[in-house]
Amino acid sequence: MADRAVARYRCGRTKHSVNMQPAIIFAIFLAYFLLLKWIKRSAKPALPLPPGPKGYPIIGNLLDIPSATPWRTFTEWSKVYGDVMYLKLSRKPAVILSSAKATFDLLEKRSDIYSDRPGSLILKLLSWDWNLGVMPYSQKWRAHRREFHQFFNQREVPRFQSIQLHECHAFLRRLVRSPDNLDQHIRHVLTAIILKITYDMDITDINDEYVHLAQEAVLGFSVSMIPGAFWVEHFPFLRFIPAWLPGFPFRKTVDYYRPIVETMRSKPFDKIQQDINEGKVKPSVTASLIERLQRKSGGVALSSTDDELARNVTGLAYAAAADTTSSATQTFMIAMALYPDVQRKAQEELDRVVGPNRLPEFEDHDDLVYIQAIILEAMRWMVVTPLGVTHCVTADDEYKGFFIPKGAAVIANIWAMLHDPDDYPEPMVFKPERYIKDGKLDPSVRDPLTLAFGFGRRICPGRYLAMGSLFITIASVLHTFNIEPTMSEDGKVFDPFSSVVSGVISSPEYVPCKVTPRSDKAKQLIQESSVLPSTLSG
């Protein structure tokens, strides 16, 4: 919890506060507004824009968007303005989609014009613009997507299962030794999995530098992507304001996170390149990718373009898998602590399918229907990416009689969709049974994964690896541990929605749970677990 608080302090985020002299602010914004009016010569559209809150002159709705959990505010607004809502964000208008139908109609069925990204000055300043997830829809994006998919598609990820098992069993042993460090253990295991797969690095220390790099770099990315979080995004000239002038938190954010992001992307990659040059490289995704690109170029050293591509693809795998899957695992832990009946039913299924003499394996997946339902509900209940990653429309469009202008940011309010009572009755309740009918997953219930991992051509390419890591971690923990809530000083049970880290990636600030082995037999299974990770090839 302290780490998160420190990170927020480093970001310098405040709630709609700008500590500049009012006269300077007014003069700058007025000049900027008049300049935009002068250069803007677009004709008024024949159709009306979607409805939305009125906003203020010049700055539009910037002051209306809260810095904490904006998805909840958007959800409330949608009850007034509808599931297609328009916000004025200075020079960047935004369309908020709050229903699955509207989102699929536009981002899936019209993906030819809704697959771009709006571009982000703050991400460029943070050195995060190499991220496949925020790249413009272009040939460069296609090349990156193709190489990422080559290693992490549905057919390829099963070859990583021995690594996932090995690291999961190490995670269980750490929980036995030091159960109080639950938050750190969760980050450790999921970072260790992706580092082993991507760079063949073994992470054994809970305070390892690479765990810290991934956590901090992704936190910087996450907080910078909140709509309206940094005014420099909407008034680019602010980046030229002298550094000594107070009231610009983006400067503190950039100064802190930029070197972390650059180190995270380059340091493990440089190590692999050095090992290759010294002839001692071991199989990994990075080594395989470098060798593939070298073969394509006739065996010579990587060109600057190929070097950049390889760094970007492997850096994204490292960063994204380490943080998003951690958030989902934290949510699972909290849900089990708060819903003991769910935990009991899951353990009964594990006892029946797996039995007392071994740990769960990937081959048990299809028989563990209730475990699958728990994972679906964890992805729905506390959404990892509540607003997804913003899309951008590349041509004027019309929907439901409304005009959607070219260049508008299009934001899918995934939190609203996954808490729609029409699809998920009692949406604030953690209820895996909602997905099960006659002992099988019920296809008539909307699958949360069709929303949680994004849409159209920008759907998350790492989703298969993430779901594999979630399954084996959740099944193994429930098979061997009991999870209980820790009480506050006043004896109250923790409210999971009262304290979350707001950003494009949302997660609990901390996990108020305690874990204890279910039995001596469970402890013995953990201590005797010895799955060795197989080597990667190809």
Whether the Cβ atoms of residue 183 and residue 174 lie closer than 8 Å to each other: no
Whether the Cβ atoms of residue 157 and residue 148 lie closer than 8 Å to each other: no
Whether the Cβ atoms of residue 403 and residue 45 lie closer than 8 Å to each other: yes
Q: How far apart are CA 1 and CA 5, in angstroms?
A: 6
Q: Cβ atoms within 10 A of the Cβ of 20, count?
A: 15
Q: How far apart are CA 464 and CA 470, in angstroms?
A: 10
- Residue 204's nearest CA partner among 179, 242, 172, 167 is 167
Q: How far is CA 94 from CA 49, 103, 122, 345, in A?
A: 11, 14, 17, 44
168 is in an annotated binding site: no
Residue 516: enclosing H or E segment and its boundaries? Answer: strand 513-517
CB burial string 435-454: b at 16+ within 10 A, e below = bbeeeeeeeeebebeebbbb
Query: In 324-451, at which residue ranges do the beta strands (DSSP E only) sit?
Result: 391-392, 397-399, 402-404, 409-412, 436-437, 440-441
DSSP alpha helices (H): ranges in 225-368?
249-277, 285-296, 304-338, 340-353
Rg of the chain's alpha carbons, rounded to an integer? 24
Whether the Cβ atoms of residue 99 and residue 82 lie closer than 8 Å to each other: no
Annotated binding site: 460
Annotated binding site for heme: 460
